[in-house]
Amino acid sequence: MWRRLQPKKTEDAAGFLGDKAEQATGAVGSGMKSLGSTIREHTPDQGMLKNAGAAVADTLERGGRYLEEHELREIGEDVTNVIRRNPIPAVLIAAGIGFLLARAMRS
Protein backbone atom coordinates (compact mmCIF):
# COMPACT_ATOMS: atom_id res chain seq x y z
CA MET A 1 0.00 0.00 0.00
CA TRP A 2 1.11 3.48 -0.78
CA ARG A 3 1.21 5.98 2.01
CA ARG A 4 1.03 9.65 1.30
CA LEU A 5 3.85 11.76 2.61
CA GLN A 6 2.86 14.45 4.99
CA PRO A 7 3.32 17.97 3.60
CA LYS A 8 6.08 18.83 6.08
CA LYS A 9 8.07 15.71 5.21
CA THR A 10 7.65 16.44 1.51
CA GLU A 11 8.90 20.00 1.99
CA ASP A 12 11.84 18.74 4.05
CA ALA A 13 12.74 16.19 1.37
CA ALA A 14 12.50 18.81 -1.39
CA GLY A 15 14.65 21.20 0.60
CA PHE A 16 17.23 18.48 1.26
CA LEU A 17 17.38 17.55 -2.43
CA GLY A 18 17.64 21.21 -3.42
CA ASP A 19 20.55 21.71 -1.03
CA LYS A 20 22.30 18.62 -2.39
CA ALA A 21 21.81 19.83 -5.98
CA GLU A 22 23.30 23.22 -5.08
CA GLN A 23 26.27 21.51 -3.41
CA ALA A 24 26.79 19.29 -6.45
CA THR A 25 26.71 22.31 -8.76
CA GLY A 26 29.29 24.07 -6.61
CA ALA A 27 31.46 20.95 -6.60
CA VAL A 28 31.30 20.72 -10.41
CA GLY A 29 32.26 24.40 -10.61
CA SER A 30 35.20 23.85 -8.29
CA GLY A 31 36.32 20.85 -10.36
CA MET A 32 36.12 22.87 -13.57
CA LYS A 33 38.26 25.63 -12.07
CA SER A 34 40.79 23.07 -10.87
CA LEU A 35 40.92 21.43 -14.30
CA GLY A 36 41.43 24.84 -15.90
CA SER A 37 44.35 25.52 -13.57
CA THR A 38 45.86 22.11 -14.32
CA ILE A 39 45.59 22.70 -18.07
CA ARG A 40 47.19 26.12 -17.67
CA GLU A 41 50.10 24.62 -15.70
CA HIS A 42 50.77 21.90 -18.29
CA THR A 43 50.54 23.85 -21.54
CA PRO A 44 53.70 24.73 -23.46
CA ASP A 45 55.28 28.13 -22.88
CA GLN A 46 54.92 29.24 -26.49
CA GLY A 47 53.25 28.51 -29.79
CA MET A 48 49.79 27.57 -30.91
CA LEU A 49 49.28 25.01 -28.12
CA LYS A 50 49.91 27.71 -25.53
CA ASN A 51 47.13 29.86 -27.02
CA ALA A 52 44.72 26.94 -27.29
CA GLY A 53 45.50 25.72 -23.77
CA ALA A 54 45.07 29.21 -22.34
CA ALA A 55 41.70 29.59 -24.09
CA VAL A 56 40.45 26.25 -22.76
CA ALA A 57 41.75 27.02 -19.27
CA ASP A 58 40.09 30.46 -19.28
CA THR A 59 36.77 28.99 -20.38
CA LEU A 60 36.85 26.26 -17.74
CA GLU A 61 37.78 28.71 -14.99
CA ARG A 62 35.06 31.19 -15.99
CA GLY A 63 32.47 28.41 -16.21
CA GLY A 64 33.56 27.03 -12.85
CA ARG A 65 33.26 30.44 -11.20
CA TYR A 66 29.81 30.90 -12.74
CA LEU A 67 28.60 27.56 -11.34
CA GLU A 68 30.03 28.33 -7.90
CA GLU A 69 28.57 31.83 -7.71
CA HIS A 70 25.05 31.25 -9.07
CA GLU A 71 22.12 29.22 -7.82
CA LEU A 72 20.44 26.59 -9.98
CA ARG A 73 17.40 28.86 -10.39
CA GLU A 74 19.60 31.60 -11.86
CA ILE A 75 21.38 29.15 -14.14
CA GLY A 76 18.02 27.87 -15.37
CA GLU A 77 16.85 31.42 -16.09
CA ASP A 78 20.05 32.16 -18.01
CA VAL A 79 19.67 29.00 -20.11
CA THR A 80 16.04 29.88 -20.81
CA ASN A 81 17.02 33.38 -21.94
CA VAL A 82 19.75 32.04 -24.25
CA ILE A 83 17.28 29.60 -25.81
CA ARG A 84 14.70 32.37 -26.30
CA ARG A 85 17.26 34.60 -28.00
CA ASN A 86 18.66 31.75 -30.15
CA PRO A 87 15.88 29.21 -30.77
CA ILE A 88 17.19 27.63 -33.98
CA PRO A 89 20.73 26.93 -32.69
CA ALA A 90 19.17 25.62 -29.45
CA VAL A 91 17.00 23.15 -31.39
CA LEU A 92 19.98 22.06 -33.51
CA ILE A 93 22.13 21.52 -30.41
CA ALA A 94 19.32 19.55 -28.73
CA ALA A 95 18.92 17.40 -31.84
CA GLY A 96 22.67 16.78 -31.96
CA ILE A 97 22.76 15.79 -28.29
CA GLY A 98 19.78 13.50 -28.83
CA PHE A 99 21.51 11.89 -31.80
CA LEU A 100 24.69 11.31 -29.79
CA LEU A 101 22.75 9.88 -26.85
CA ALA A 102 20.84 7.54 -29.15
CA ARG A 103 24.10 6.29 -30.69
CA ALA A 104 25.64 5.83 -27.26
CA MET A 105 22.64 3.81 -26.08
CA ARG A 106 22.90 1.48 -29.08
CA SER A 107 26.54 0.66 -28.48
CB neighbour list of residue 64: distance below 8 Å, 6 or more residues apart: 28, 29, 30, 31, 32, 33, 34, 35, 36
Q: In terms of domains, do 65 and 77 share one?
A: no
Q: What is the pLDDT of residue 2?
A: 53
Rounded mean pLDDT of 29-49? Answer: 91
Are 66 and 103 part of one and the same domain? no
Note the pLDDT of residue 1.
46
Is the pLDDT higher at 31 or at 2?
Answer: 31
Tell me the three state secondary structure of residue 3: coil
Range of the domain at 47: 1-70
Do 81 and 43 share a domain, yes or no? no
Residues 58 and 76 in one domain: no
Q: Are residues 8 and 55 in the same domain?
A: yes
Number of separate domains in the chain: 2
Domain match, 10 and 53 both = yes
69-88 average pLDDT score: 94
